Chains A and B, each alone.
Chain A
Amino acid sequence: MTQVTLRQEGKTLTALLSGEIDHHGAARLREEIDGRVAAASPAILVLDFSAVTFMDSAGIGLILGRHKLVSAMGGVVVVQKAPKDIRRTLSVAGIESKE
């Protein structure tokens, strides 16, 4: 099941994503993350993919959409800890994942 756990430390909001991210599951992730971003106005939004077991281009859309939202508020989005299969999908969009 697709889930997100949100943790805030100072101006950094970390979204720990887990499960399978496809078009079906992305909608709920988007709602939960955006609700928290609107309330917290983070300087850094970290999207942590370490527990994601599947991702198609809906995950790329999720990243690009959050980038648009957060950068409009003056913040940045960091993608981190994507497993090998997820990194290969990210590479189609030229997105790199931090360790």
Chain B
Amino acid sequence: MKAVNTMRLVFPSRSVNEGFARSAVAAFAAQADPAMDELADLKTAVSEAVTNCIVHAYADRIGTVTLYAALYEEGTLRVTVTDKGCGMPDVAKAMEPLYTTGGPERAGLGFAVMTSFTDSLKVRSAPGRGTSVVMEKRLGRR
């Protein structure tokens, strides 16, 4: 599968960039003529992935978040969010609904939202080396 367009964003893990990242992905996705609810789903899923980098991967420092987006001919958008933070020892456990290490104000539903709002979600992680989240969303299916 060959991408018809790609983009890469690299930014520090400051919480103000949560809004920047999801808006940038939505602006990139606009070329696929997505429905409003597809765009809302995409923004929400991206926001969750980037927030995880800020809250968990770099909990006690500012690190680098890399967001890569690729748009394919049939309208599939693949978004990859990568950090080089603390990583997770048990990805399956971290993806369980309501599981969180983020304190009482975190719902533990970030991965549940990402799963609900995308067509495919893959997570790779290694303790001390970082995490990569790859999500795919079909756009323009109206």
Contact = CB atoms under 8 A, between A and B. Distances in A.
A22 B107 contact: no
B43 A57 contact: no
Contacts of A55: 44
A7 interface: no
A85 B40 contact: yes
Interface in B36-90: 36-37, 40-41, 43-44, 47-48, 51, 54-55
A24 B110 contact: no
A57 B44 CA distance: 8
Chain A residues touching B, range: 20 to 34
Interface residues of B, number: 26
Nearest to A19: B19
B126 interface: no
Contacts of B112: 57, 92
22 contacts: A20-B19, A22-B47, A23-B15, A24-B16, A24-B18, A54-B43, A54-B44, A57-B109, A57-B112, A60-B107, A61-B105, A61-B107, A65-B104, A85-B37, A85-B44, A88-B40, A89-B44, A92-B112, A92-B113, A92-B116, A93-B107, A93-B109
Given A54-B44, A56-B113, 17 more contacts: A20-B19, A22-B15, A30-B105, A55-B44, A56-B110, A57-B48, A57-B51, A57-B109, A57-B110, A57-B112, A58-B106, A60-B107, A61-B105, A61-B106, A61-B107, A62-B105, A89-B113
Interface of A: 20, 22-24, 26, 30, 54-58, 60-62, 64-65, 68, 84-85, 88-89, 92-93
Interface of B: 15-16, 18-19, 22, 36-37, 40-41, 43-44, 47-48, 51, 54-55, 104-107, 109-110, 112-113, 116-117
